[in-house]
Homo-oligomer: A and B are copies of this chain.
Amino acid sequence: MITANTHVRVRFAETDAMGVVYHANYLHWFEVARVHLMDSINLPYIDLANQGIHLPVIESHVNYKSPARFDDKVNITAVIKETPTLRIKIHYEVTCKNNLLCTGYTTHVFINEKGLPIKPPKHFIDSLRKLFDEKKEK
């Protein structure tokens, strides 16, 4: 398991007329956490993007448990549980002051600058596999 934590502070722009964060915006926070996870394992998303490689979302799932509100400081944990193959699945947990706000996941494939699916870049998948092997050894 590869895990990283990050934080966001709820923007007024992210709330809706129910007084809580609009449900689609949790996917924005998943993105923030995913980018941070990739930084934390030294495979920053921007390096892929600069090569014209992207990781579009092919599946998203969110279970909403409790609402976030304006100015809340929320914690987002992103976790890769299995060694990626052609796809990467990332799990998320959003909490605020120890309350679980939501859980979810996104699944990604790799595409090139023409938008066509490609195999994950070798150094990317090798680095991830190495990290998983190191974790197992512990």
Chain A: residues with CB nearer than 8 A to chain B? 9, 11-13, 15-20, 22-25, 27-28, 31-32, 35, 44-46, 49, 54, 56-64, 67, 69-71, 115
Contact = CB atoms under 8 A, between A and B. Distances in A.
Contact of A12 (B31, B61, B64, B71): B31
Contact of A60 (B18, B23, B69): B23
Given A13-B16, A17-B12, A59 B62 contact: yes
Nearest to A22: B13
Given A59-B63, A64-B59, A27 B23 contact: yes
Nearest to A62: B60
B35 A13 contact: no
Contacts of A28: 11, 13, 24
B64 A61 contact: no
Contacts of A23: 27, 56-57, 60
Contacts of A12: 16-17, 22, 31, 35, 45
